[in-house]
Structure 1
Amino acid sequence: MSEKFKVKSVKFNFLMNIILKMSGVIFPLITFPYVSRVLLSEANGKIAFATSVVSYFSLLASMGIPSYGIRKCAEVRDNRSKLSKVVGELLILNSLFTILSYIIFLVLLIIIPKFTRDTPLFLITSTTIIFNMLGVEWFYQAIEQYQYITIRNISFKIISVILMFLFVHEPKDYILYAGINVFSSVGSNFLNFIRLSNYVDLKSCKFQKYDIYIHFLPIITLFLYNATTVIFTSLDQVMLGFLTDDSSVGFYSAAIKIKNILVSLITALGAVMLPKISYALKNESNEYFERMISKSFDFILISAIPISMYFILMAEEVIFVLAGQTFSESIPILRFLMPSIVFIGLSSVTAWQLLIPLGKEKYTVGGAVFGAVVSILVNIVTIPKLDAVGAAIASSLAEFSVLFVHVNALKQIFRKTFDMKELIISFFATMISAIIVSLLKSVLIIENNFLSCLIYGLFFFGFFVLLLLFFKERLVFEIISQIKNKYNMRRIR
């Protein structure tokens, strides 16, 4: 049965994506403290190492199709026939690369001793490769069905939490927990594949009509970008796994999980904006396009900078609340990772909202390659001396390197869309808030770590918002104006 899709507004999709990202915060806040205390650092390290390794094969299987698919499908989403053709072509390519990836993975699983020792864990974790292919998540993002994506993901997360509390009770249950993790993250993708026939007519397109080769160059370009990105984002855990022990990976993994939660929140807008911007480039004015980009930059600045500083200030309390006292070695790791979320937030705009929609994927690849090189070199130098802290330093420097390349490639449009005044306002508001909370911490001693995070967080972000209002930050004032206008309209009615 054919089903029409309705494209919601940016605000609605952003709200749905925020809810989805918030679930990505809330559920780890439920599971992470429990799993850290039950499985301990060694078992958590094993899972983190296996996940990092499998991520390389997932990357090969996807071959840049997720980001390319969003852009390409968004461009033709108003034409069902063209949309069906593009989806069919990308599914064929995705299937071929998935088979290739799995063959390579199974060969390495047999010949590498480090992998062979945990064969069941690696096999279970590797099922994400297949489920990612079936999920066609890129299609649902392209047609902006964020309500469906959000409801489906949250439902599976709830089921996964219940399964975790029922079946994971001691360190030897780590393989079972890895399976539950897979179910939580990609289990719902099977529903995507079944539902796909409601939106596209794959049966109506004959194989001879598919132009598969026209997609090769852009998806390979994006693959190179994604490949180098994954290398320097997960290489630190892989290198730690080979150069140190599972406990070090476990400590590092605890900090990385917190960082990833924050990154997912900060970059929530980017996932919504990519299809909108791809569509706008084809159908709207340059002024509208630049205004959207400028708002994205403003959002990153007033969210990433204060969040980064707050978690630097409260690293000890956050780690003790989420992971427990046994993960004290994760505290300095978390602090050195925090600057990276600012760089990742800004580069998510330069990459996914500028370079890719503008067809300048080669610069995303260049940035990722440069970041990967920086990551490898710094990891080699710092891990033997500083252990996991060295990997954290390498991660932040690598993310800065990526942003540096992007900005240089986008000099002209960056000057039009990035407002230095907004950066200065956010920076000063953050620093003043940090000084106030630091002084408050020296006077007001709170023994309970959770209450400490909560109370100091209210003070920190409360002062930050007041300072944004005092400095007349653009985006905040625009939001307040819109709220006032809606309130006045309701009063008139």
Structure 2
Amino acid sequence: MSLIKKNFLYNLALTISTIIFPIVTFPYASRILGPEGIGKVQFVTSFGQYFVLIAALGIPVYGVREVAKLRHHSIKLKQFFTEMVMLNFITSVLFLSVYLVLVINIKSLYKDFDFYLVATLMVLLGFCNIDWFFSGLERFKFIAIRSLLIKSIALIALFILVKQKSDDIYFLWITIGTMVLNNIWNIWSARSYLNLGLIRKISLKKHVKPLIYIFSTVAAISVYAFLDTVILGFLKGYTDVGYYTAASKINKITIPVLTSLGVVLIPQISQAFKSKNMEEVQRLAKYSFDFVIFLGIPMTCGLIALAPELIIMFSGEDFSNAILPMQIFAPVVLIIGLSNVWAIQILTPAGRDRQVTISVAIGVVVSLVLNFALIPHFAYLGAAVANVLSELAVMCGFAYFSSFVIQRLFNYKLIIKTTLISLTFIPITYILRHFLVSNHLVICLLSVPLCGVVYSAVQYFIVKNELMIIQIANVRNKFLNK
């Protein structure tokens, strides 16, 4: 089995766990804590993640690229890793101070000081989040196993500790604790690469220029990724954040499926760029783009069609107000998947950090304008619209700048055909819901496989999708050769 396929399978296992974990935990927690409790935990977590992202200075993106280049140079790799960890440690301490000053001086935050105090662990230990290091080394097996074990511990803790509405603090501990345990395990596992004896030889000057561009991008991403939740919380309260969280969380559960292949391909694409093998870059990027289209469009249509059932099943009757924002959110799945191809798999490995920054800056402007314009009047619905349009603006920027690096990836025929097939999901679910079945779970259990069979059959037999035909042929050959 090729290295790409092995890494994809390990990353797929991680992706599946990332999907299953909230599917199990969120329905349980949301029914006990309600919209307000869920909203409070999400708001505190989002507020803390601002500081984690900014303190990281873009190292997670820059690190994958550089580690992939240095993986066969032991001494240089250790020096680079030590430089990045020490730099991130200093910024984490600095931004922890800023975080505490804001929490203490803003009354609306200080009234829940015990919650924000828990989140300090996430901010302080953010420098230990070195998944970028293991990704650059293509150690996806380690990442998958570690994540599965820690998620299992968190799941047990949830069922033991969260029993009533007042246990929202325990839910926050579990949410933050999962991140912290991942980080501690990371840094311990990579301790052999951390050479404090190299501190005197540390030279950050060469990293300044690329990090400035990437930091600008990451800082901007943190603005439009979390700004909607923070503004919504400040202007409308925790309950609205709860509805918004339920709507966005269900949609975003599916995103790792679309980005899982990209995570595996980044080191490969970085190596291709380094060796100036543009044919390989084009091949890998096209493969990834077709993969996102093939899965992203039906996912989007499926989320829109099944939003009423998914919200009630996933969050409970108290969250019925989240159905419409979930349907508004649905296109974000496809948009982020495509953004990942153009930005993370093409522009970043190509060293086009400036263009990434410009694209994200456009998204920040769109997000700021729309959030402040829409949230006061339309609350969580306005936040959902602002989020989708902001992501779309960023994606368009990435696509435009990527066209200067490689040939166009847009396969319009594939997009149109896939969209037309996926639109059949809406009448299928409508017929089941209104004429045959009334149970939410049964509707989902019937709709998903039925829509999947219709979609796959048309793609394979009528459209003759190249990606699907090749993969099925590979599986068939493996069985025949055994």
TM bin (shorter chain): over 0.9
How far is the alpha carbon of 1:12 from its aligned partner?
A: 1.2
How far is the alpha carbon of 1:312 from its aligned partner?
A: 0.4
| Aligned: 1:383 with 2:375 | yes
How far is the alpha carbon of 1:125 from its aligned partner?
A: 1.8
How far is the alpha carbon of 1:220 from its aligned partner?
A: 2.1
Describe the shift of the 1:361–1:96 C-alpha distance in structure 2 as closer, same or farther (beyond 3 A).
Answer: same
Whole-angstrom distance in 2 between the partners of 1:412 and 1:361:
13
| Aligned: 1:302 with 2:294 | yes
Paired position in structure 2 for 1:483:
475
Paired position in structure 2 for 1:134:
128
Partner residue of 1:406 out of 398, 402, 418: 398
How far is the alpha carbon of 1:123 from its aligned partner?
A: 1.5
Partner residue of 1:459 out of 416, 432, 450: 450
Aligned 8 A contact 2:7 2:138 in 1: yes
Partner residue of 2:33 out of 36, 39, 44: 39
Aligned amino acid, residue 150 of structure 1: A
Whole-angstrom distance in 2 between the partners of 1:232 and 1:30:
28
Paired position in structure 1 for 2:420:
428
Matches within 5 A, 1:68-467: 68-198=62-192, 200=193, 202-203=195-196, 205-283=197-275, 285-413=277-405, 415-444=407-436, 446-467=437-458
Aligned 8 A contact 1:135 1:191 in 2: no
Paired position in structure 1 for 2:48:
54
How far is the alpha carbon of 1:207 from its aligned partner?
A: 2.5
SS in 2 for 1:390: helix
Aligned 8 A contact 1:425 1:473 in 2: no
* Stretch deviating more after TM superposition (139-148 or 266-275): 266-275
Whole-angstrom distance in 2 between the partners of 1:476 and 1:188:
35
Aligned 8 A contact 2:68 2:271 in 1: yes
Normalised by the length of structure 1, the TM-score is 0.94
Aligned 8 A contact 1:63 1:219 in 2: yes
Unaligned runs of 5+ in 2: none
How far is the alpha carbon of 1:317 from its aligned partner?
A: 0.3
Whole-angstrom distance in 2 between the partners of 1:312 and 1:302:
17
SS in 1 for 2:267: helix
Whole-angstrom distance in 1 between the partners of 2:225 and 2:468:
32
Identity %: 31
- Post-superposition Cα deviations, 1:100-149, rounded to whole Å, max 9, x if no partner, equal 11111111111111111111111212311233312322111110111111
Normalised by the length of structure 2, the TM-score is 0.96
How far is the alpha carbon of 1:433 from its aligned partner?
A: 3.9
Aligned amino acid, residue 60 of structure 2: P
Whole-angstrom distance in 1 between the partners of 2:186 and 2:429:
46
- Post-superposition Cα deviations, 1:16-46, rounded to whole Å, max 9, x if no partner, equal 1111111111111111111001111111111
Aligned amino acid, residue 261 of structure 2: L
- Post-superposition Cα deviations, 1:409-455, rounded to whole Å, max 9, x if no partner, equal 122455443322221221122123434443444432x2221111111
Q: Could you say what the CA RMSD is over the residues aligned between the two structures, in angstroms?
A: 1.6
How far is the alpha carbon of 1:460 from its aligned partner?
A: 1.2
- Post-superposition Cα deviations, 1:29-78, rounded to whole Å, max 9, x if no partner, equal 11111100111111111111111111110012111011111111111101
How far is the alpha carbon of 1:272 from its aligned partner?
A: 1.6
Paired position in structure 1 for 2:21:
27
Aligned amino acid, residue 276 of structure 1: Q
* Stretch deviating more after TM superposition (350-359 or 127-136): 127-136
